[in-house]
């Protein structure tokens, strides 16, 4: 076997005058996990698309196990053993098919399979594949009915069916619980031991510390650093990615003011404990917990997408029970949703219209839209959040995933609100973009209550005045972001401490 699984020499890629990749030289070895880090717009996604046959390189050459490799399509790349699980989950699954069809689709499409399906045999094979991945779902269920985490696992399981020689994983744990991520890491360990080369793209240092044998940093379309000497230099890798050192984030806890929203004895599930919570003006509250802890359910309740089983809510002292999203927005309650691809981005619209679509009445005169007013809002948001684009008229799909995320957050920051709810606003963005978004959220927080749902404790520490911990669809911890007992916080996140009854009363007021 060749000592290199894949070798890239002088790989460049340009889209018109925009040089996205600039002379990439990189080798990946069998039985090794390479973590690829880079700021949003560094060229990571384009490099992946070149490797998996979506884009041909403008210059350079690729060799796969010593042989020339130039796939014209993703199916050709897969046939040669290069399999990719993309960051956009819908690139790896077909929502309108059931789980079994998704898992077996590539095999069914092979020549010689005939015109008739043996659905019983197909489902049996799909169950075996799902079990190997630790995917506990009914294979007859439609993928569109699955949650984001299960869709991600279906996409990964589908990739495993190809028995890859080079597996590319782009932010694979962004929607997974700790237990699901642990299963994925175990699978990667087995693949590595079996001689598979793995390219693992992530911004999560916890993932990289767990899984990486080496780190490759990208910046401005080039390789800016390779780190393979043990122990790995994580700080050096981040500095190479950014081009400068990253200072620690220091939060000066804000003084909370008047009550904006009050939740009284809210119950999210039949088997969960009720909880109470007060949200105040000027205060940024981070709500953290494992996937499945109830964070997104609470976000949906605040925005009127779901109704609580019990309890009452008030907004500015008045009963609050929105009938629809439009009703919530009219009352000044905004939600930036978690699933960007399905619930936020409108692919047919440009950046400007994606930013202004919920507020078109504010950019209208009589029956006509004021495009100048829309573009002014777009330009201000692009400048404020550092969105990398050519103009306000760029198609949203032309942006990197991180810059699309900035557009989605900027949409709701551009207009005044009473309560701003952001569900995983840092999903898929690099550490610099995370700081940019967090800083803008805090800068604009006076006069409103802000709730940010986050999966990572580090994200909560960088943005919050107060940190709430959820577990089993209730609140189990309430901490002011000063002099934190990190051991207690982490134990509550892990569900190791049952402090429901103490917190239920305590959360009616901000933690002292």
Is 440 a domain residue? no
Q: Are residues 1 and 64 in the same domain?
A: yes
Q: Are residues 152 and 183 in the same domain?
A: no
Is 7 a domain residue? yes
User: What's residue 75's pLDDT?
Assistant: 87
Window from 126-140, 201-215, 380-394 with minimum mean pLDDT:
126-140
User: What's residue 344's pLDDT?
Assistant: 67
DSSP state of 143: G
In the chain, the percentage of residues whose pLDDT exceeds 90 is 39
Domain that holds residue 407: 339-415
What is the mean pLDDT of the segment spanning 478-505?
A: 73
User: What's residue 90's pLDDT?
Assistant: 64
Is 438 a domain residue? no
Q: Are residues 242 and 176 in the same domain?
A: yes
How many domains, the chain?
A: 4
What is the mean pLDDT of the segment spanning 193-214?
A: 91
User: What's residue 298's pLDDT?
Assistant: 94
User: What's residue 512's pLDDT?
Assistant: 41
Determine the Cα–Cα distance for residues 206 and 13; give it in Å rounded to an integer. Answer: 31
- Reference 411, options 348, 347, 464, 335; nearest CA is 335
Is 443 a domain residue? no
What is the mean pLDDT of the segment spanning 89-115?
A: 71
Q: What are phi and psi of 64, to 5 degrees?
A: -115, 115
Q: Are residues 77 and 176 in the same domain?
A: yes
DSSP state of 366: T
Q: pLDDT band for position 307 (50/70/90)?
A: very high
User: What's residue 334's pLDDT?
Assistant: 94
Instruction: Extract the tokens encoding 75.
Output: 């199916």
What is the mean pLDDT of the segment spanning 367-383?
A: 82
15 or 281: which leads in pLDDT: 281
Is 437 a domain residue? no
What's the predicted TM-score (pTM) here?
0.67
Q: Express each pLDDT in 404-428 by its tens digit.
A: 888 889 889 888 999 999 998 887 7
Is 436 a domain residue? no
Instruction: Extract the tokens encoding 216.
Output: 């490759």
Q: Are residues 47 and 168 in the same domain?
A: yes
Q: Are residues 313 and 461 in the same domain?
A: yes
Q: Are residues 303 and 181 in the same domain?
A: no
Is 441 a domain residue? no
Q: Are residues 130 and 216 in the same domain?
A: no
Neighbouring-strand partners of residue 366? none
What contacts 316, CB < 8 A, 6 or more positions away? Answer: 259, 260, 261, 418
User: What's residue 73's pLDDT?
Assistant: 92
109 or 314: which leads in pLDDT: 314
Determine the Cα–Cα distance for residues 353 and 348; give it in Å rounded to an integer. Answer: 10
Q: pLDDT band for position 42 (50/70/90)?
A: confident
Q: Are residues 195 and 237 in the same domain?
A: yes
Query: Looking at 129, 163, 197, which one is the last position of a domain?
Result: 163
Determine the Cα–Cα distance for residues 39 and 43; give it in Å rounded to an integer. Answer: 9
What is the mean pLDDT of the segment spanning 437-448?
A: 92
367 or 403: which leads in pLDDT: 403
Query: E-strand spans in 331-384?
Result: 333-336, 364-365, 368-369
Q: Are residues 270 and 305 in the same domain?
A: yes
β pairing state of 284-288 and 449-454: parallel
Across the chain, what does the average pLDDT equal? 85
- Cβ distance 167 to 191 under 8 Å? yes
Q: Express each pLDDT in 174-194 by its tens digit.
A: 777 677 788 788 888 988 998
Query: Looking at 369, 392, 415, which one is the last position of a domain?
Result: 415
Window from 16-20, 146-150, 236-240, 480-484 with minimum mean pLDDT:
146-150
Q: Are residues 229 and 304 in the same domain?
A: no
Query: Looking at 196, 220, 246, which one is the last position of a domain?
Result: 246
Q: What is the CATH number of the domain that holds 492?
A: 3.40.50.300
Is 218 a domain residue? yes
What is the mean pLDDT of the segment spanning 195-207?
A: 89
Q: Are residues 170 and 155 in the same domain?
A: no
pLDDT value at 372 more than 60: yes
């Amino acid at each position: 076997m060749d000592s290199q699984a894949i070798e890239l020499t002088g790989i460049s890629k340009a889209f018109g005058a925009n040089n996205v990749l600039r002379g990439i030289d990189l080798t990946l070895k069998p039985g090794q996990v390479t973590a690829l880090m880079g700021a949003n717009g560094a060229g990571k996604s384009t490099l992946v698309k070149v490797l998996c046959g979506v884009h041909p390189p403008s210059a350079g050459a690729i060799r796969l196990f010593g042989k020339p490799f130039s796939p014209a399509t993703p199916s050709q790349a897969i046939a040669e053993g290069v399999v990719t699980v993309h960051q956009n989950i819908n690139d790896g699954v077909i929502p309108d098919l059931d789980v079994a069809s998704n898992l077996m689709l590539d095999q069914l499409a092979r020549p010689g399979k005939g015109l008739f399906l043996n659905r019983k045999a197909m489902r049996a094979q799909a169950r075996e594949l799902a079990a190997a991945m630790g995917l506990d779902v009914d294979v007859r269920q439609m993928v569109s009915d699955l949650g984001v985490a299960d869709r991600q696992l279906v996409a990964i399981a589908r990739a495993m069916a190809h028995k890859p020689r080079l597996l590319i994983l782009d932010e694979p744990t962004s929607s997974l619980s700790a237990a699901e991520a642990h299963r994925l890491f175990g699978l990667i360990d087995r693949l590595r031991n079996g001689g598979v080369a793995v390219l693992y793209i992530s911004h999560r240092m916890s993932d990289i510390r767990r899984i990486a044998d080496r780190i490759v940093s990208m910046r401005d379309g080039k390789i800016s650093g390779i780190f393979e000497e043990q122990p790995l230099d994580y700080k050096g890798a981040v500095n190479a990615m950014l081009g400068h050192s990253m200072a620690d984030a220091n939060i000066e806890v804000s003084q909370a003011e008047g009550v904006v929203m009050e939740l009284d004895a809210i119950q999210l599930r039949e088997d969960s404990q009720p909880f109470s919570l007060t949200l105040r003006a000027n205060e940024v509250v981070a709500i953290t917990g494992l996937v499945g802890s109830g964070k997104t359910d609470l976000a949906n309740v605040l925005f009127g997408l779901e109704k609580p089983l019990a309890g009452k809510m008030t907004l500015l002292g008045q009963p609050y029970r929105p009938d629809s999203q439009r009703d919530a927005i009219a009352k000044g309650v905004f939600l930036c949703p978690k699933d960007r691809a399905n619930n936020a981005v409108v692919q047919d619209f440009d950046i400007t219209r994606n930013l202004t679509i919920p507020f078109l009445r504010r950019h209208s005169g009589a029956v006509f839209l004021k495009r100048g007013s829309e573009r002014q809002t777009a330009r201000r948001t692009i400048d404020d959040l550092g969105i990398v684009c050519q103009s306000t008229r760029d198609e949203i799909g032309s942006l990197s995933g991180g810059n699309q995320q900035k557009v989605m957050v900027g949409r709701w920051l551009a207009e005044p609100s009473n309560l701003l709810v952001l569900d995983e606003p840092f999903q898929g963005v690099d550490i610099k973009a995370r700081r940019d978004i967090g800083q803008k959220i805090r800068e604009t927080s006076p006069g409103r209550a802000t709730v940010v749902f986050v999966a990572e404790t580090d994200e909560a520490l960088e943005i919050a005045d107060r940190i709430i911990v959820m577990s089993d669809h209730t609140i189990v911890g309430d901490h002011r972001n000063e002099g934190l007992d990190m051991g207690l916080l982490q134990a509550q996140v892990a569900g190791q401490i049952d402090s429901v009854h103490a917190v239920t009363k305590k959360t009616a007021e901000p933690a002292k």
